[in-house]
Structure 1
Amino acid sequence: MYTIGLTGGISSGKSTVSAMLEQLGAAIIDTDIIARKIVEPGQPAWQEIVAAFGTSCLFPDGHINRKLLGEIIFTDDHKRRVLDKITHPHIQNTARQALQAAAQQGIKTAVLDAPLLIEVGWQHMVQAVWVVYVDEETQIERLMRRDRLDRSQALARIHSQMSLREKLLFATVVIDNSGNLEATQKQVFAAWQCLAANQ
């Protein structure tokens, strides 16, 4: 089975490219979905988060208040590292199991859709790294529009991540999503065709 690591930055359009790859027949393993599942009440990661952050980060029904927790870690690097240390091993183990299951099912191509693929060093789990790229100005505009942020808020979120320019250094394939949807689709299809020809 051929495994693609798909990554990008906030508002770069990674989810759009992921959906295109799924339509072309790839199995998608989405680490954002995994991250939500591993923190459900009673799960080991949930227990560790409650132990580290207390019950004040929970809704009355026991689910984690992701918005509140996000606000806590966004302003405190130490707490963000604590949360990452809890969640990342659980996410990685679940993703690895999903990749193994896909291989056993005879799937030809799987995509590990991971925003932090490079930051957490998971590129060793895949055979190719696809980076969805947009220039920073486009990224700022899209994020401001999507999340109704002002420019300084958008920049703070973008600069809290590894820059897309840095991520390009790790890329096997670059999908430039600065243009329209059709232009992105053409690049994804061309890269997919190239992959199919070499399998």
Structure 2
Amino acid sequence: MLHLALTGNIASGKSTVAALLAARGATIIDADVLAREAVAPGTAGLEAVLERFGTRVLAPDGSLDRAALRQRVFHDPVARDALNAIVHPAVRRLRDTAVASAAARGDRIVISDIPLLFEVGLEHAFDGVILVDAPESVRLARLVHDRGLGEPEARAMIDAQWPAERKRAGATWIVENDGPREALPRQVDALWAEIEARAAARSAK
């Protein structure tokens, strides 16, 4: 099995690339989905979050109010580190389980979608890294015009991640998503051909 990581800064188009890779046959393991599972109602993760941050981050239906929690930790590095210490180990355990299931099924190409791959130091844990990138000005425009965020909030979200220049040096493949939407599938086709070739070479060993 070839296990790759997929990453990209906010509004880079990473989720679109993940969907295109899934359509071509990749098994996608989404860290955002796992993060929600890690703090679902009834989990030890949610109990730990409530113990640290209080019931103000709990929604009326008993689930985690992710927006309230995000507001609580976004400008507080100590609180953000505390949250990460709760969520990241749980997410890693869930990812390990998902990868083991994929291996048991005989899946050839598994891609873990991890937004903060480089920030948490996981880039060397995979057989290769796919980085989706776009210039900061393009990503800012997408956040403001497509997602309806105010420019100060959008800039704060961009600044909270490592600059793409630091990540490009550690990437195996880079998908440049600064052009028209119709150009992206062609790039992913070329990327997929390289990934399949690498998977075939691994199988032949």
Q: Letter of the aligned partner of 1:94 in structure 2?
A: L
Question: Matched residue of 2:174: which SS?
Answer: strand
Corresponding residue of 2:108: 108
CA displacement at 1:148 relative to structure 2: 1.3
Residues in 2 aligned to 1:26 and 1:43: alpha-carbon distance in whole angstroms = 29
Which structure 2 residues correspond to residues 27-106 of structure 1 after superposition, within 5 A?
A: 27-106=27-106
CA displacement at 1:182 relative to structure 2: 2.3
Question: Cα RMSD between the aligned structures?
Answer: 1.1
Question: Matched residue of 1:4: which SS?
Answer: strand
Corresponding residue of 1:192: 192
Residues in 1 aligned to 2:88 and 2:60: alpha-carbon distance in whole angstroms = 26
Which structure 2 residues correspond to residues 176-191 of structure 1 after superposition, within 5 A?
A: 176-191=176-191
Q: Percent identity?
A: 37
Residues in 2 aligned to 1:166 and 1:183: alpha-carbon distance in whole angstroms = 25
Q: Mind listing any 5+ residue stretches in structure 2 that lack a counterpart?
A: 201-205
CA displacement at 1:163 relative to structure 2: 1.2
Corresponding residue of 1:151: 151
Q: Letter of the aligned partner of 1:58 in structure 2?
A: L
Q: TM-score, normalised by structure 2?
A: 0.94
Corresponding residue of 2:170: 170
Q: TM-score, normalised by structure 1?
A: 0.96
Given the alignment of the two structures, is residue 134 of structure 1 paired with residue 170 of structure 2, yes or no? no
CA displacement at 1:57 relative to structure 2: 1.3
Task: Give runs of ≥4 in structure 1 deviating > 6 Å.
Answer: none
Query: Could you give the per-residue CA deviations for residues 99-152 of structure 1, whole angstroms, max 9, x where no partner exists?
Result: 111011000000100101111122233100000000011011001113212322
Corresponding residue of 1:12: 12
Size of the alignment, in residue pairs? 199
Question: Matched residue of 1:148: which SS?
Answer: coil
